[in-house]
Amino acid sequence: MSETFARRLRAYRKLKRLTQVELARRAGVSLAVVGGLERGTRSPTPEVVHRICRVLEVDDQELWSRALC
């Protein structure tokens, strides 16, 4: 699991002013999935990444990139 992905996921979620619970609900995944992704203990599937990106209104490359734009 990418530490960069985990940090950026949390940062984008907070920029959108969403809680983990809200993000999980809107993306149709469990709170455990979102928490695990943000802690870096769970690897995302392409489908989960797609769902989260749709909610956060970001491209998946933005979550994997090393530097915030």
- Token duo for residue 22: 């809200």
Task: Give the span between the Cα atoms of 8 and 62, in whole angstroms.
Answer: 8
**Which pLDDT value is given to residue 67?**
43
Q: Residues 8-38: pLDDT tens digits?
A: 999 999 999 999 999 999 999 999 999 999 9
**Which pLDDT value is given to residue 66?**
54
**Which pLDDT value is given to residue 25?**
98
Q: What is the CATH number of domain 3-63?
A: 1.10.260.40
**Which pLDDT value is given to residue 12?**
95
Residue 50 confidence (pLDDT) above 90: yes
Task: Give the span between the Cα atoms of 35 and 16, in whole angstroms.
Answer: 16
Task: Give the span between the Cα atoms of 49 and 38, in whole angstroms.
Answer: 12
For the whole model, what pTM was predicted?
0.87
